[in-house]
């Protein structure tokens, strides 16, 4: 089934009823519901998440936010070890892995489907383990080219080249598809027996409700072999990992007849443009750049391989680039090309490091944005752009392109959405042609739109489709018709401020200690969601004292019994603002006493 057909089927089903909850940044659980009338057009890779955590995330975040699907890590039994890549060395096709049991997997699929989120499995069908012997995580023993109940020596390629059967020459098509990828036992996918075994594994997963597959290492199998295996699995939705940066005999285009293909040139080019080039040059980003056709491409800023320097890496942008990463994802989700995959990572200090030992969820609270799980898909500027892409999907083209010739750009998606991106050190203020009907819209980069109310700043569009907007340095603004506030004018500011119906009865002394190094002329500030922390206005952020440098400190009175979201920023003498990376830090103030927050710049 093609992605387009699946999207239409999804739309038909979910016009009847789909749950959408109100959304916030990290820690805000979506609640309110409304009818879903737009297709879901982006998915997320929850890399190395456990099945129990994914089930909760579908219900608490992904379903409400409008994500189409989750790519999950390989679910089959794999070799033992802490490294992430152990998942990509199958021992058997039992659904038992570091992420959980078969029962937990089935429960996850069911619960995600119930809230409109499909499951895509990362399917490792090119090879088995590294050549050698051992025992898998489910207790299955194996030895070189011998996997009891599945394969024996004759079911593998033995290419007889390079002294160890490994691939050495990527200019040789036969060698790439018949020798071993870094010593991994290479399955003979032209064999009828092997094809049947692989199809049985995929059909088992389909019987559990899996909607599609990422085909790992697809370029190491002829396209015809993949086509035959998929025909035995009733032709599910697939996207094939083909790392094609040009200059090799095996190309992405060979595989589009089977289904979608991962467009790695997109990742390396968007990284290059946002890191070192000019955004003004991106007005035709897509097929004119040598990419495959949009309707065949799965695209991403980064994935689990290239964010670690593997898999056609290049100069990619990752969560470690902080605000720059958010801007690249805002562009990717706003730009009409491909089927976007949002990456959701964990923190790592070396390329082999496996996932944190702790679950993402502790009860109903997600451990995101700290030292363990990064959860980029929960960053407001990324999460809310999924809704932007969904709403603007019927206008799959751009108009009103503008740039300053450097790194400030804007464009419209027909009359449905508008985005402005400022990748410069100074703010951008001008009147833009948005193309949208007159009205007041929620800026979904900085606020959440719930039941007609925007939690952040708004943008007013006049009858000519114009809006005067200020975009802060290294920031963006996005508006769309799905986040239009009722009425055509902003709510008037009352002459006498209303008295809060439940004013806080007291305040709590909160000491912020932030360990951060700075360059000459920089200072560190704290900013957050309450007035005492500047209400997310960088001009009103609170300056911390450098008396105990590199620890910056300040004690601030905050409302008692209040949920606090905050971050740290750096400002220099010219007013340039640098935000720390990751999602908002959160805590709740108690009814009495004091609080100390000890943090480090991230």
More confident residue, 296 or 313: 296
Cα separation of 177 and 220, whole Å?
A: 4
pLDDT of residue 549: 87
Element (H, E) at 20: none
Residue 321, helix vs strand vs coil: helix
- CA 495 vs CA 453, 459, 492, 512: distances in Å: 21, 22, 9, 35
Select the highest-mean-pLDDT range: 336-350, 549-563, 582-596. Answer: 336-350
List the Cα angle 63/45/126 in 5-degree steps: 130
Task: Please report the pLDDT score of residue 278 as a whole number.
Answer: 97
Please give the pLDDT value at position 490. Answer: 31
Catalytic site residue 190?
Answer: no
pLDDT band per the 50, 70, 90 thresholds, residue 390: very high
pLDDT at 16: 33
Question: Which tokens hold the place of 353?
Answer: 């490091």
- Indicate which residue of 53, 122, 216, 305 is catalytic: 216
Whole-number pLDDT of residue 1: 53
Mean pLDDT throughout 198-211?
A: 97
SS3 state at 234: coil
DSSP state of 291: P
For residues 94-118, give the mean pLDDT. 97
- The alpha carbon of 120 is separated from its chain's Cα centroid by a whole number of angstroms, namely 14
Reading the block at residue 271, the tokens are 């990284």
Indicate if the alpha-carbon torsion angle 332, 333, 339, 344 is positive or negative.
positive
| Closest residue by Cα to residue 217 from 185, 189, 181 | 181
Q: Residue length, the chain? A: 602
CATH fold label, 507-600: Immunoglobulin-like (2.60.40)
Specify the pLDDT at position 286.
97
The domain segmentation of the chain, as residue ranges, is 43-392, 399-483, 507-600
Mean pLDDT, the chain, integer? 89
Catalytic annotation present for 352: no
CA distance 431 to 169: 55
Residues 6+ apart with CB under 8 A from 386: 41, 42, 65, 66, 67, 333, 342
Phi and psi at residue 175, in whole multiples of 5°?
-65, -40
Confidence band, pLDDT 50/70/90 cuts, at residue 582:
low
What the block records as the tokens of 309 is: 């320097």
Region 596-600 average pLDDT? 89
Q: Is 331 helix (H, G, I), strand (E, B) or coil?
A: helix
Same fold, 399-483 and 507-600: yes
How high is the pLDDT of residue 22? Answer: 32
Contact assessment for residue 561 and residue 510, using Cβ atoms and an 8 Å cutoff: no
DSSP run (H or E) holding 80: none
Report pLDDT for 585: 80
Q: pLDDT tens for residues 503-533?
A: 333 688 899 999 888 888 889 999 998 889 9
For domain 43-392, give the CATH superfamily.
Answer: Glycosidases (3.20.20.80)
pLDDT tens, position by position, 281-301: 999 999 999 999 999 999 999
Of these residues, 77, 241, 305, 448, which one is catalytic?
241
pLDDT at 77 over 70: yes
- Give percent above pLDDT 90 in the chain: 76
Q: Which residues contact 388 (CB under 8 A, 6 or more apart)?
A: 333, 334, 417, 419, 444, 478, 480, 482
Please, which pLDDT band fits residue 462 given cuts at 50, 70 and 90?
Answer: very high
What mean pLDDT is predicted for residues 452-465?
A: 96
Confidence at 111, pLDDT banded by 50, 70, 90:
very high
65-74, 330-339, 550-559: least confidently modelled range: 550-559
pLDDT of residue 24: 33
Q: Mean per-residue pLDDT for 137-161?
A: 98
Higher pLDDT, 370 or 116: 116
Helices and strands in the chain: count of H runs, count of E runs: 10, 34
Which residue do the tokens 């968007």 mark? 270
pLDDT of residue 73: 98
Q: What gap in Å lies between CA 130 and CA 268, rounded to an integer? A: 29
> Residue 313: pLDDT band by 50, 70, 90 thresholds?
low
Residue 37's CB: how many other CB atoms inside 10 A?
Answer: 12
- 164 is written with which tokens? 């160890």
Q: What are the start-end ranges of the E strands in 426-559?
A: 428-433, 439-442, 449-450, 453-454, 458-461, 466-471, 475-480, 484-485, 507-515, 523-528, 542-543, 545-548, 551-559
Closest CA to 125 of 82, 178, 86, 76: 76
Using pLDDT thresholds of 50, 70 and 90, give the confidence band for residue 34.
very low
pTM: 0.77
Residue identified by tokens 């927050």 is: 597
Whole-angstrom Cα distance, residue 408 to residue 425? 10
Over residues 218-238, mean pLDDT: 96
Q: How far apart are the C-alpha atoms of 223 and 126, rounded to whole Å?
A: 12
- Contact present, 560 and 589 (Cβ < 8 Å): yes
Distance CA 473, CA 316 (A): 22
pLDDT the model gives residue 578: 86
Q: What are phi and psi of 313, to 5 degrees?
A: -55, -80
The superfamily (CATH) of domain 399-483 is: Golgi alpha-mannosidase II (2.60.40.1180)
Could you read off the pLDDT of 528-575 as tens digits, one per residue? Answer: 988 899 888 888 899 999 888 889 999 998 988 888 989 999 998 787
At 162 the pLDDT is: 96
Q: Which helix (H) or strand (E) holds 269?
A: helix 264-275
pLDDT(10) > 50: no
| Segment among 269-283, 304-318, 372-386 with least mean pLDDT | 304-318
Which is nearest to 588 in space by CA: 565, 554, 557? 565
**Rounded distance between C-alpha atoms, residue 119 and residue 541, angstroms:** 42
At residue 4, the pLDDT reads 46
Q: What angle do CA 7, 11, 14 make, to 5 degrees?
A: 135
Task: At 405, list the tokens.
Answer: 């010739």
Spatial separation of the C-alpha atoms in residues 601 and 524, rounded to whole Å: 10
Query: What residues pair up with 100 in beta bridges, in sequence order?
Result: 97
Percent with pLDDT over 70 in the chain: 89
Q: Contact 536/528 with Cβ under 8 angstroms?
A: yes
- Give the residue from 335, 339, 341, 303 showing the smallest Cα distance to 319: 303
| Pairing status of strand 297-299 against strand 260-262 | parallel
- Give the Cα separation of 580 and 523 in Å (integer): 13
Triad 208, 61, 457: Cα angle to 5°: 155
Please report where in the chains the tokens 């059909």 appear, as a residue: 203
């Amino acid at each position: 089934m093609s992605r387009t057909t699946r999207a239409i089927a999804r739309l038909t089903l979910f016009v009847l009823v789909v749950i959408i909850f109100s959304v916030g940044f990290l820690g805000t659980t979506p609640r309110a519901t409304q009818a879903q009338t737009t297709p879901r057009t982006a998915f997320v890779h929850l890399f190395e998440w456990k099945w129990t955590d994914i089930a909760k995330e579908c219900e608490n975040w992904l379903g409400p936010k409008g994500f189409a699907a989750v790519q999950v890590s390989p679910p089959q039994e794999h070799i033992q070890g802490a490294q992430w890549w152990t998942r990509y060395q199958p021992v058997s096709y039992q659904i038992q892995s570091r992420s959980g049991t078969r029962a937990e997997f089935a429960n996850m699929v069911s619960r995600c489907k119930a809230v409109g989120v499909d499951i895509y499995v990362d399917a490792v069908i090119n090879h088995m383990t590294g050549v050698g012997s051992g025992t898998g995580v489910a207790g299955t023993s194996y030895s070189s080219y011998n996997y009891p109940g599945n394969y024996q020596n004759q079911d593998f390629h033995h290419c007889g080249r390079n002294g160890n059967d490994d691939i050495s020459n990527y200019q040789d098509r036969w060698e790439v598809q018949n020798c071993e990828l870094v010593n991994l036992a290479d399955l003979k996918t032209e064999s009828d027996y092997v094809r049947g075994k692989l199809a049985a594994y995929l059909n088992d997963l389909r019987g559990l409700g899996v909607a599609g597959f990422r085909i790992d290492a697809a370029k190491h199998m002829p396209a015809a072999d993949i086509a035959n295996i998929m025909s035995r699995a009733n032709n599910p939705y697939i996207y094939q990992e083909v790392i094609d940066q040009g200059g090799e005999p095996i190309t992405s285009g060979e595989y589009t007849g089977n289904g979608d293909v991962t467009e790695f040139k997109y990742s390396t080019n968007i990284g290059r443009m946002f890191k070192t080039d000019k955004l003004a040059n991106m007005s035709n980003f897509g097929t004119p750049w040598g990419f495959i056709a949009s309707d065949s491409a799965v695209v991403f800023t980064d994935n689990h391989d290239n964010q670690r320097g593997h898999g056609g890496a290049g100069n990619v942008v990752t969560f470690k680039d902080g605000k720059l990463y958010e801007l690249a994802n805002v562009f990717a989700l706003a730009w009409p090309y491909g089927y976007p995959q949002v990456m959701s990572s964990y923190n790592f200090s070396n390329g082999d490091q496996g996932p944190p030992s702790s679950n993402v969820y502790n009860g109903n609270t997600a451990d995101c944005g700290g030292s363990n799980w990064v959860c980029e898909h929960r960053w407001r500027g990324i999460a809310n752009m999924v809704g932007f892409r969904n709403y603007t999907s019927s206008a799959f083209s751009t108009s009103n392109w503008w740039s300053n010739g450097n790194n400030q750009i804007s464009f419209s998606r027909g009359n449905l959405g508008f985005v402005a991106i400022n990748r410069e050190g100074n703010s951008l203020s001008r009147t833009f042609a948005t193309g949208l009907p007159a009205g007041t819209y929620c800026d979904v980069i900085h606020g959440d739109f719930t039941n007609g109310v925007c939690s952040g700043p708004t943008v007013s569009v006049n009858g000519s489709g114009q809006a005067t907007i200020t975009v802060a340095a290294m920031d963006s603004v996005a508006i769309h018709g799905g986040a239009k506030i009722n009425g055509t004018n902003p709510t008037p500011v009352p002459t006498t401020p209303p008295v809060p119906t439940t004013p806080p009865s007291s305040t709590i002394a909160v000491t912020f200690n932030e360990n951060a190094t700075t360059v000459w002329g920089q200072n560190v500030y704290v900013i957050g969601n309450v007035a005492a922390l500047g209400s997310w206005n960088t001009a009103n952020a609170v300056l911390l004292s450098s008396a105990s440098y590199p620890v910056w400190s300040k004690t601030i009175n905050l409302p008692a019994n209040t949920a606090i979201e905050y971050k740290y920023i750096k400002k220099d003498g010219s007013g340039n603002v640098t935000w720390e990376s990751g999602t908002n830090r959160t805590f709740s103030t108690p009814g009495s006493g004091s609080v100390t927050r000890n943090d480090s710049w991230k």
